Amino acid sequence: MTYKFTIIVPVYNEEDNLERVETELSNYLKIAKVTSSVLFVNDGSSDNSQALIEAICERNEAFNYISFKQNRGLSAAIKAGFDYVDSELVGYIDSDLQTTPEDFNILLDHIDTHELVTGVRSNRKDSFVKNMSSKIANGIRRTFTHDGMDDTGCPLKVIKTDYAKRIPMFKGLHRFLPAMILLQKGRIIQVPVQHFPRMAGTANFGLWNRLFGPLMDCFAYLWMKKKYINYEVEKSSK
């Protein structure tokens, strides 16, 4: 079967969540607005995640996986997914399922007129510290990028694949995906989505990852923006 949309699921030590991920995504594929598949990217998990992923993919035709030799971080996992897929559209969702796959349909409603559609988590079910650090980090990022996005850390996005493949990823750049689409003269929009408490497993991001790390990444983004190469081919012999 040819799929129009591939959902990337980055995984790092999420063995307690994966059966629920299988159930939720299997249910979503039945109601998806376009033909959709799932790609697990195992980011060097040290628990039983890989064995569970292989079992899930064995019993679900629309599920596939790639697995890293070593842990390389969320940006690397997302980048590998972008590189691997060949569908027209690509998106991702975190394996903790604090967002719901059903909301991909809300994002897909806008993808015809935009190159990236990102969720913005309404009524977030996180701790006060996590919410405040995220709000501060997003404010800092907007100051640097002028992307107008309120919640680039929301783990629910849909992107046109040809734009996603042109993003030169580095560590932390998953927070700058809307800004990187803007550098390609693409159109972006944010849409409210649901948010839920984490049901199992442990969050892999602390205060440094949410606040101080993104501040340092802003300077890397500014350097990349200055050096970024963007071109359009007007004519070709092929």
- Residue 232 domain flag: no
Q: Is residue 176 part of a domain?
A: yes
Kindly state whether residue 236 falls inside one of the protein's structural domains: no
Kindly state whether residue 189 falls inside one of the protein's structural domains. yes
Number of domains in the chain: 1
H helix or E strand, kind and range, residue 58: helix 49-59
Amino acid, res. 37: S
In a domain, residue 110? The reply is yes
The 10s digit of each residue's pLDDT in 189-198 is 999 998 876 6
DSSP 191-231: EEE------SS--S--HIIIIIHHHHHHHHHHHHHHH----
Q: What tens digit of pLDDT does each residue of 21-72 get?
A: 999 999 999 999 999 999 999 999 999 999 999 999 999 999 999 999 999 9
CA dist 109 and 106 (Å) reads 5
Spatial neighbors of 154 by CB under 8 A, at least 6 apart, are 99, 118, 119, 120, 121, 193
pLDDT at position 12, please? Answer: 96
- Domain of residue 22 covers 5-227
Q: What does pTM read for this prediction?
A: 0.82
> Which pLDDT score, from 0 to 100, does residue 126 have?
54
DSSP state letter for 102: G
Question: What's the first-to-final CA gap in the chain, in angstroms?
Answer: 28
CATH number of residue 112's parent domain:
3.90.550.10
pLDDT, tens only, 99-147: 999 999 999 999 999 999 999 987 655 555 555 556 666 666 666 666 7
> What are the residue ranges of helices labelled H in 88-145?
104-108, 128-145
